[in-house]
Amino acid sequence: MPLAGAIARHAGERPHAPAFRMEGRVFTYGKLVADACRILHGIERSAGLATEQSVLSGRVRLIALETGNHPLFAAAFIAATSGGNCAALIDPHLPDLTRQRMKEKLKPEIVIRAAGDLLLLEVPSAGQTHSLDTFDGSSPIRVGDEAEPFLVVFTSGTTGGPKAIIRDRRSWRLSLEIGQDFFGLRPERTTYAPGPLAHGLALYALVESLAAGAEFIGPRHFEARQALDIIGAARAKRLVLVPTMLRRLCDEAEGAHLRCVEKITVAGAKLTPADRSAAARTFPAAEVIEYFGASELGFITVAGADEHHAATAVGKAFPGVRLAILDDRGNRLPPGEAGTIFVDSALISDGYMVGGDNVGFRRHGRLATVGDLGSLDEDGTLHLIGRAGGMVLSGGNNIYPSEVESAIMAAASVQSVLAFGLDHPDFGSELVAVIQPSDDRFEREALERHLADALPRYKHPRKVWLCREMPMTASGKIAAGQLRQWIAEENGALERLF
């Protein structure tokens, strides 16, 4: 069922059931729909003032949501994706210049921004900004056509500029139908997802929760102690988060057990055996599921507790997804041989809208790829050996940082790691790594012995720094740009190991 139809049904049948919670504010399904109708009325009134059309050229109205994690985000998203509208999600934590360039390319009719607990509706072409409270009225939420574009999200390009990915309604409706059964979503299964709602992981968790009639809880900002308190108090049954957030929850729990959690869904990076052990101690009743995907392709693979958890394994094909490994000429490769990972599914996006760099997403007949490299086992397990654009060419050798990171994460006393290339006058590039130790027992000699057993010499990082607290992005990933800057300026936050 379309999201608009599902939410309207929940509001009619269970108007007082909790739907969305943030910063102590709880929105029932009845309240959520009422707020969404009020915001939609504001959008329609404001759009009448626009003097220019968006990059979508009148196909639908384009609404840029620049609120970040805000108590009114869920209602604003429902309004901005109502039939005839398309929402473009812009993370307010991005640099001002980056956000400005994104909006210049999209030319949205309306930009919705946060001002404390209020929302502002900006009409860029008219140079006007109005508070939501300016508009008195309500417009009904409408179900849109399947082929209608309804969502624009951004992913980083290989050249560093954000690339806009556009989706139609059909792909997400199919994804929600498949995911509701696969993830076991039910009205009584409260979900806690601490990531930014402008990004795919937390956003999808919100939408699938609302479609199922369940409650979604999200914070404005992630803080491990506060998160544990919320999970316990709300008796949250499901967590959706990235590995770094799961590690911080387990570290902060300090041996405490939260038995209310039944499922933990992880994406964005691979869990280590130590991560799984820590999760089993902190959340002893929880089933841990990892999935590998891409904003352009949707779900690709999924791995449960009984799956193959080798350093490079990312699970088997998600339901309804078919995998293929092709060589540079488009020929299928047999099991065990590495090539480019291609996907065939109904969950694939329409591709890049604006801001693409002609690298990444491309099609080969029904198949699509973002350039990731890997191989398939005989049993269908996918192994990821390199992410698109990440290869380091050092002294004539091709090195994939993700393979090196997987090897280092398996070493003792390692909590997180980032490997990447730096310019080198003789080798072209040299592989380096920054490691966050998990405790004071980390030893250089033990790392070197581990690398000698795990990787050929040319894949060993030539330089390694220790960082006691990795800088993180809003989505819970390691801030690679910040680490590069710290290395360049010899920042004291890094300790040179060798």
**CATH code (residue 249):** 3.40.50.12780
The separation between CA 114 and the C-alpha centre of its own chain, rounded to angstroms, equals: 22
Residues 414 and 349 in one domain: no
Q: Which of 299, 279, 311, 284 is nearest to 183 (CA)?
A: 299
Q: Is residue 104 part of a domain?
A: yes
Q: Yes or no: say if 407 and 454 are a contact pair by the CB < 8 Å rule.
A: yes
Does the pTM exceed 0.75?
yes
Of the residues 327, 353, 379, the one at which a domain ends: 353
224 inside domain: yes
Domain of 34 in residue numbering reads as 3-316+345-353
Both 311 and 416 in one domain: the answer is: no
Q: Measured in Å, how far apart are the chain's first and last C-alpha atoms?
A: 56
CA distance 144 to 294: 25
* 17, HSE (Cβ side, Cα atoms, 13 Å): 21
- What pLDDT was estimated at residue 395? 72
Same domain, 71 and 159: yes
How many other C-beta atoms lie within 10 A of the C-beta of residue 467? 21
Beta carbons of 156 and 166 less than 8 angstroms apart: no
Same domain, 242 and 163: yes
Write the CB contacts of 399 (distance below 8 Å, at least 6 apart in sequence): 391, 392, 393, 421, 431, 458, 459
**Does residue 101 share a domain with residue 243?**
yes
Quickly count: other Cβ atoms within 10 Å of residue 140's Cβ: 13
- Identify whether 135 is part of a domain: yes
Does 221 lie in the same domain as 80? yes
DSSP secondary structure, 457-481, as one string: GGGS-SEEEEESS--B-TTSSB-HH
| Helices within 191-325 (DSSP H only) | 200-212, 224-234, 243-253, 273-282
Looking at residue 313, what DSSP letter applies?
A: B
Domain count, the chain: 2
pLDDT on residue 437: 92
CA atoms of 150 and 167, how far apart (whole Å): 6
| Burial of residue 92 (number of CB atoms within 10 Å: 0-12, 13-18, 19+) | middle
Residues 160 and 44 grouped into a single domain: yes
pLDDT at 154: 87
Q: Give yes or no for a contact between 103 and 109, defined as CB atoms under 8 angstroms apart.
A: no
State how far the Cα of 11 lies from the Cα of 31, in Å rounded to an integer. 8
3 state DSSP class of 424: strand
- What phi-psi label fits residue 183: left (phi over 0), alpha (psi between -120 and 50 degrees) or beta? alpha
Is 38 in a helix, a strand, or coil?
Answer: helix
Distance CA 242, CA 372 (A): 20
- SS3 category, 354: coil
pLDDT for the residue numbered 359: 61
85 and 220 inside one domain: yes
Last residue of a domain, one of 304, 324, 353: 353
Instruction: Indicate whether 86 and 152 sit together in one domain.
Output: yes
Say whether both 178 and 114 belong to one domain: yes
Residue 409 covered by a domain: yes
User: Whats the size of the chain, residue-wise?
Assistant: 498
Q: Report the C-alpha gap between 223 and 225 in whole angstroms.
A: 6
The single-letter DSSP state of residue 428 is E
Domain membership of residue 382 (yes or no) is no
Question: Does residue 398 share a domain with residue 278?
Answer: no
* Residue 370 placed within a domain: no
Measured distance CA(493)–CA(487) in Å, rounded? 9
CATH number at residue 429: 3.30.300.30
Q: How far apart are CA 278 and CA 273, in angstroms?
A: 9
Residue 48 phi/psi, 5-degree rounding, is: -65, -15
Mean pLDDT by 10 residues, the chain (498 residues): 92 97 94 97 94 90 96 97 96 87 93 94 96 93 93 69 86 88 89 92 95 96 94 96 91 92 90 88 95 90 77 88 92 90 92 65 91 90 77 77 87 90 80 91 90 88 93 80 86 91
pLDDT confidence of residue 309: 62
* Residue 234, in any domain of the structure: yes
User: 332 lies in a domain?
Assistant: no
Residue 252 shares a structural domain with residue 401:
no
The DSSP H or E segment spanning 393 is strand 392-394
Nearest to 233 by CA among 219, 247, 244: 219
